[in-house]
Amino acid sequence: MQLDRGSATLVLMRHGETAWNRQARLMGDLDIPLTPEGRGQCDDAARMLEAFAIDRIVTSPLVRAAESAQIVAEHLGIAVTSDTRLVEVRFGEWQGMTYEEVASDPRYHAFAADPVTHPTPGGETVASVQRRGLEGLKLLRAGECVLFVTHGDIIRTLLCHFLVTPLSEYRRIRTDNCGLSAIAVGRGAPEVKFVNVLADQRRARSLTHWRGRP
């Protein structure tokens, strides 16, 4: 991803916590709202983003992302637009199931071994997710700093692109709720400025991505 002229910065933010995060349940493109803790995580992220000079916010239309974006937008006084290309991986038949339940499905082993070419049942491949995510990021214009509020797996695929990492390794990149990653884009190769920065450092030390404050 490059710009014809000038430079810009895109910031990727994962939505705040939901109850299904705590339950280790696959949400996909289902609409699951934030928990009170998730809204607090968005408040924390908004305060950190004050120093970023964000020009505008683009969000996935799924409620957990849209609600997260609105919390940040109200804090910063910035308008929000939505883009369907930023929705989470569509997990098809697995949506609503826990990771433990999905692990017993033989189709999951094929997907886990090769998510780039094996689609989720009734869903999509990780490669298709990365393609539509990159199309959504093309909304970025020279001179801007744009916050894109989206989902864990799609952020992983986008970071693979910017880090020139094989897409098959996308699960090795950690994306916490309200984790922030930033990429500078210009005429040359993009520069990844930071990955998965959290406003609450106590949560950053947690071994689980959904655990809140003690």
φ, ψ at 19 (rounded to 5°): -60, -35
Measured CA distances, 147 to 52, 65, 104, 139, 199 (Å)? 10, 12, 37, 11, 16
**Tokens read off for 22:** 């705590």
Q: Is position 88 annotated as part of the catalytic site?
A: yes
Query: Residue 214 pLDDT more than 80?
Result: no
Closest CA to 151 of 162, 142, 159, 139: 159
Q: What is the pLDDT of residues 130-189, one digit of tens each?
A: 999 999 999 899 999 999 999 999 999 999 999 999 999 999 999 999 999 999 998 889
Q: What is the mean pLDDT of the chain?
A: 92
Q: What is the pLDDT of residue 3?
A: 76
Catalytic residue among 15, 37, 144, 151: 15
Catalytic residue among 17, 37, 67, 88: 88
Residue whose token pair is 């280790």: 24
Q: Is position 161 annotated as part of the catalytic site?
A: no
Q: What is the pLDDT of residues 86-133, one digit of tens each?
A: 999 999 999 999 989 998 998 998 888 899 999 999 999 999 999 999
